[in-house]
Structure 1
Amino acid sequence: MNLLSVNLAKPLRAPEFTDAPGNLTGIDKRPASGPVEVAAPGAKGTGGSGLAEDIIGDMRHHGGDDQAVYAYAREDLDGWAAELGRELSNGCFGENLTTRGVDVNGARIGERWLVGSRVVLEVAAARIPCRTFAGWLDERGWVKRFTDRALPGAYLRVVEPGAVRGGDEINVVHRPDHEVTVSFLFRALTLEPELLPRVLAAGDALHAEARRKALRRTES
């Protein structure tokens, strides 16, 4: 399991498909040539990306400690490329980390990865598709298509900061004993809300928004 590339934003002004302040989006990410520092950015709304020199345009809905780093598997990008009939480069889904050999969507909430020799990241949440993502890819019905497939990629917290770079090994150093994978959480938050009470099994690793939704469903 390894990190194919670390991707940073090439800032883009796109009023036609983003509602971010100033119409600035960081969804267009490109592989960095050298090491990139990774650290917890702070609370959502005040903290942006966990990667130095990366850009998040809409900090109301993105960024912060529970969405510090976004990872997507090269294998899933390849599957989408074949289906869409177009090349999908590393970073084109807006992911900071493009992985090889990692079951990103099968990772459990609270699972921890050692990237390289020092950086520890914790699986925190699933990516929910938005208008910016759909506009960037310019594929008809993209949000529904992406949602139906339930291959969202994972948001990660930074547990131990440091530098990462393309080629680093990724090792799973902790895997919780529950059923709540990234894909399971995504399905619960989108098309299968009946699963919401079961996501509480992820315990303290479950991010606050998912916990609130799960508790409301349980109480109702």
Structure 2
Amino acid sequence: MEIVSLNVGLPQVIQVQGKELITGIFKSPVSSSLFVSKVQAEGDGQADLSVHGGPDKALCAYPEEHYAFWEQELGKKLEAGTFGENLTVRGLLETEVCIGDTFAIGEVVVQITQPRQPCHKLAKRLDLGTAPLQMQETGYTGYYFRVLVEGRLDKDSAVKLISKDKEGITIAYANQIKYKEKTNAEAIGRIAELPALSASWKQSFLKRLVELQA
């Protein structure tokens, strides 16, 4: 388990079909040490705080292992941070890590809260309209961390597993239920009860349960 790249970036305005769009998806690698607070890394920012950032989504992680797939899809080499992630990681795939898993990265202690939910801004970043759907279908979504202990980290900080969540709900499994097994009430309920699950995903899953029971 290791960090390949530490990436940050502030929101910027881009032009899309003649209209202005503010987005924080553009992240660039940095070599310096950064302070990480309960809501974000130093030098980082999000444009739409209703769906990005905040305590449940303070840091976004994306596995380096998926870059080869996207480079083949796009026909070009991609720089770390292309997917808007703060941490480009290796050895921490969605099929292996679980909601609630806790890690120490440098001075910082983080906990996985939910899969990353791809949106239209990623499609515009990659200039690939099908990118969000492809992320869902492949399960190559990445995921979010909440920060339990603030502190400093850099790209060379060691990643150490502190604890595995006892329920063992992987990010890959959560994606499977979210996007493909939408009527699996038992699994939806099990995920919704996870103490570490982000508030937004808990609300979404509880709403789905109500709809299934109606």
The answer to whether the superposition gives a TM-score over 0.5 is yes
Give the corresponding residue for 1:189. Answer: 178
Give the corresponding residue for 2:202. Answer: 211
Give the corresponding residue for 2:84. Answer: 94
Higher mean alpha-carbon deviation, 170-179 vs 96-105, is at: 96-105
What is the one-letter code of the residue matched to 2:64? Answer: R
Contact 1:197 1:214 in 2 (8 A): no
Q: TM-score, length-normalised on structure 2?
A: 0.88
CA distance in 2, matches of 1:77, 1:143: 15
Q: Runs of 4 or more off by more than 3 Å in structure 1?
A: 199-202, 216-219
CA distance in 2, matches of 1:25, 1:129: 13
Give the corresponding residue for 1:4. Answer: 4
Give the corresponding residue for 1:145. Answer: 134
CA distance in 2, matches of 1:194, 1:89: 38
Contact 1:105 1:152 in 2 (8 A): no
Alignment identity in percent?
28
Deviation at 1:60, TM superposition (A): 1.7
CA distance in 1, matches of 2:42, 2:128: 30
Q: How many pairs align? A: 208
Give the corresponding residue for 1:106. Answer: 96
Give the corresponding residue for 1:44. Answer: none
Deviations 1:2-48 (A, max 9, x none): 1111101154312417x9xx73211110011200111112xxxxxxx
Contact 1:128 1:186 in 2 (8 A): no
Unpaired segments ≥5 residues, structure 1:
42-49
Unpaired segments ≥5 residues, structure 2:
none
What is the one-letter code of the residue matched to 1:129? Answer: P
Name the CA shift for 1:63/1:197 in 2 (closer, same or farther; >3 Å).
farther
Deviation at 1:196, TM superposition (A): 5.5
Deviation at 1:184, TM superposition (A): 1.6
Contact 1:25 1:58 in 2 (8 A): yes
Give the aligned CA root-mean-square deviation in angstroms: 2.0
Deviation at 1:200, TM superposition (A): 4.1
CA distance in 1, matches of 2:128, 2:207: 34
CA distance in 2, matches of 1:107, 1:183: 8
Contact 1:71 1:154 in 2 (8 A): yes
Q: Which of 172, 187, 192 is the matching residue for 1:198?
A: 187
CA distance in 2, matches of 1:62, 1:108: 20
